[in-house]
């Protein structure tokens, strides 16, 4: 989806964001977006790790019962 935007589309989006929010707010918005993505990534990795641990426990239980 993002690949279909292209460079001209990204430039247009940045210009519109600059007009709407102004140059002083853009770094704050970028920082907040980055922090949000980091939290989302950490949470996703934690959940994935939990699921993998559960799967390994179930596999071990199955092996013990055979």
Do the domain assignments include residue 48?
yes
Do the domain assignments include residue 31?
yes
Q: Quick one: tokens of 44?
A: 């996703």
Do the domain assignments include residue 47?
yes
For the segment 39-59, the average pLDDT, to the nearest whole number, is 91
Do the domain assignments include residue 38?
yes
For the segment 36-65, the average pLDDT, to the nearest whole number, is 90
Do the domain assignments include residue 4?
no
Do the domain assignments include residue 60?
yes
Do the domain assignments include residue 8?
no
* Tally of domains in the chain: 1
For the segment 41-59, the average pLDDT, to the nearest whole number, is 91
Do the domain assignments include residue 55?
yes
- Binned at pLDDT 50, 70 and 90, residue 1 comes out as low
Query: What gap in Å lies between CA 47 and CA 42, rounded to an integer?
Result: 9
- Binned at pLDDT 50, 70 and 90, residue 3 comes out as low
Q: Which domain holds residue 63?
A: 23-66
The yes-or-no verdict on residue 9 having pLDDT over 80 is yes
Mean pLDDT value across the chain = 87
Query: What gap in Å lies between CA 25 and CA 11, rounded to an integer?
Result: 18
Query: What gap in Å lies between CA 14 and CA 9, rounded to an integer?
Result: 9
What are φ and ψ of residue 54, in 5° steps?
Answer: -60, -45
């Amino acid at each position: 989806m993002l690949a279909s935007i292209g460079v001209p589309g990204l430039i247009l989006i940045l210009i519109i964001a600059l007009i709407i929010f102004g140059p002083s707010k853009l770094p704050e918005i970028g920082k907040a977006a980055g922090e949000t993505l980091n939290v989302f990534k950490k949470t996703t990795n934690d959940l994935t790790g939990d699921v993998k641990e559960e799967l390994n426990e179930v596999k071990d239980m199955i092996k013990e019962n055979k």
